[in-house]
């Protein structure tokens, strides 16, 4: 089985319009007791999956109680991350349990990272379409 997602157009101050690889996944919400639809940027450079701060509320996660707080360093510099050790998502018809991070800010989109997520699939980026082999 394959799932395909067309790239999403985004306005860039540097390049005009760019296209980004995206994927749809369903994230379990303890708050609403159901899966929530989330569009992610597929980021093969991200070690693990990341969310903006406000998503923790939607998912019913208490960052201080349910997560470990630590500093991480990346292309944007130093960041505070709240790491939730086990988070349930459905991607490509497969249920996954993976660690996810929540940044202490909201100006980033959800990022689908490699550890226990993208590494579970064969992913192809071609002709502005992201294809998952499920």
Which CATH number belongs to the domain containing residue 56 in this structure?
2.40.70.10
**pLDDT tens readout for residues 113-123:** 999 999 999 99
Identify the domain containing residue 112 by its residue range: 2-120
d(CA 61, CA 120): 25
Q: Structural domain tally of the chain?
A: 1
**pLDDT tens readout for residues 80-118:** 999 999 999 999 999 999 999 999 999 999 999 999 999
Q: Would residue 98 count as lying in a domain? A: yes
Q: Would residue 32 count as lying in a domain? A: yes
pLDDT tier, 37 (very low <50, low <70, confident <90, very high otherwise): very high
d(CA 78, CA 82): 13
Q: Would residue 129 count as lying in a domain? A: no
Q: Would residue 133 count as lying in a domain? A: no
Contacts 24+ apart (CB under 8 A), 16-22: 19/128, 21/125, 21/130, 22/130
Q: Would residue 128 count as lying in a domain? A: no
Residue 76 pLDDT > 80, yes or no? no
pTM: 0.94
């Amino acid at each position: 089985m394959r799932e395909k997602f067309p790239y999403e157009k985004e306005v860039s101050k540097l390049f005009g319009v760019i296209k980004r690889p995206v994927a749809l996944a369903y994230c379990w919400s303890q708050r609403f007791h159901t899966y929530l639809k989330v569009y992610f940027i597929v980021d093969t450079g991200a070690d693990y999956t990341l969310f903006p701060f406000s998503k923790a509320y939607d998912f019913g996660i208490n960052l201080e109680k349910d997560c470990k707080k630590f500093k991480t360093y990346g292309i944007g510099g130093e960041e505070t991350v709240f790491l939730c050790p086990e988070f349930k998502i459905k991607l490509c018809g497969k249920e996954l349990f993976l660690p996810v991070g929540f940044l202490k800010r909201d100006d980033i989109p959800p990022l689908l990272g490699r550890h226990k997520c993208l590494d579970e699939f064969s992913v192809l980026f071609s002709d502005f379409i992201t294809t998952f082999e499920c």
